Amino acid sequence: MVKPTFDPGLTQQFNGPLRRVINKDGSFNVQRQGAAFHPYLRLINMSWPGFLILTLFAYISVNLLFAVAYYLIGVEQLPGSDAPTEMGRFLNAFFFSAQTLSTVGYGLIAPKGLGANIVSAIEALLGLMGFALATGLLFGRFSRPSAKIGFSGTMIVAPYQDGQSLQFRIVNQRSNSLMELEAKVLLMPVEGESVQRNRTYKLLKLERDSVLFFPLTWTVVHPIDQESPLQGMTAKQLEALQAEFLILMKGWDDTFSQTVHARYSYRYDEITWGARFTPAFRVDPEGDLVLDVDKVGAVTAIGSPITAA
């Protein structure tokens, strides 16, 4: 009987240079070739600067296209657009296009003649459809629920009860409320020769894998005990295994009433041995808790480096 193996969907056999599986922004280190292009998904998932630049580029390009059409038809069909120079007439046609596309229509320039009226009618229709599409995309980007969970810069190996533990700390970087937060941590070592390597995945047991409320910070702790795959491991051994710790967070966003997720990972060289997290919140004179989000990764050394023995 074949013993079942655990694979979270990231493959076990691996050839080539070893890089992290999950990037710092939470995306998977996978390049898709031959995937179907979906414009809506592309526009929703692209960065805000990229979206705004693309929107501006599309707006200018459409107006330039229609400005050329008006210019070729002739200024005699656009009363009020005449100018001493060719550039002036083209600019008047461009700004008339912008007014028509947005259906503003100041009235200084108006189409006269069949050609100009046909072009302006087509542009007005495209303008209504285009701005409706842009508004929908803008609303979709703003209304899409997502978790903005901040992770500590490193994991730490710290004392825990009578032994040691592997820890990292998280914080909600937004002012909204997250509840019923759950954490899963996978250890992914890479074993085998340089030509043929095998990834294995081991789900780490946590001190607690969920919290009901998340108004402050949460230090996720994996006790390094007899059942832990990290028992007896050193920093050099983790480096030899090219170990990476894959993290999946899932919680309930009270603002959007939807489940949100966050992904992150730490590699072997992102572990601080022999440290503690320093408090990230305090109590003010009125008795209120004050959280400093920027201190989520603040650590304090506790002496000489330790091993996970």
pLDDT in tens, 48-79: 999 999 999 999 999 999 999 999 998 789 99
Residue 79 belongs to some domain of the structure: yes
Is the domain of 200 the same as that of 65?
A: no
Is the domain of 85 the same as that of 128?
A: yes
Domain end marker among 143, 161, 178? 143
CATH number of the domain encompassing residue 154? 2.60.40.1400
pLDDT at 94: 94
pLDDT in tens, 243-294: 999 999 999 998 888 999 999 999 999 999 999 999 999 999 998 999 999 9
CATH number of the domain encompassing residue 53? 1.10.287.70
Is the domain of 292 the same as that of 224?
A: yes
Is the domain of 228 the same as that of 286?
A: yes
pLDDT at 245: 96
Burial 170-203 (b: 16+ CB within 10 A, else e): bbbeeeeebeebebbbbbbbbeeeeeebebbbee
pLDDT at 195: 64
Residue 227 belongs to some domain of the structure: yes
Is the domain of 154 the same as that of 213?
A: yes
pLDDT at 306: 46
Q: Per-residue DSSP letters for 52-121?
A: HHHHHHHHHHHHHHHHHHHHHH-GGGSTT---SSHHHHHHHHHHHHHHHHTT---SSS---SHHHHHHHH
Is the domain of 120 the same as that of 265?
A: no
Which domain covers residue 48, as residue numbers? 39-143
Question: Average pLDDT for consecutive 10-residue bins of the chain (309 residues)?
Answer: 62 73 85 80 90 95 95 88 89 93 86 92 94 92 86 94 93 91 94 76 94 95 94 92 95 90 95 93 91 93 56
Q: How far apart are CA 268 and CA 244, in angstroms?
A: 6
Residue 95 belongs to some domain of the structure: yes
Q: How far apart are CA 8 and CA 201, in angstroms?
A: 8
Q: How far apart are CA 304 and CA 298, in angstroms?
A: 18
Domain end marker among 143, 160, 176? 143
Is the domain of 88 the same as that of 177?
A: no
pLDDT at 244: 95
Structural domain total, the chain: 2
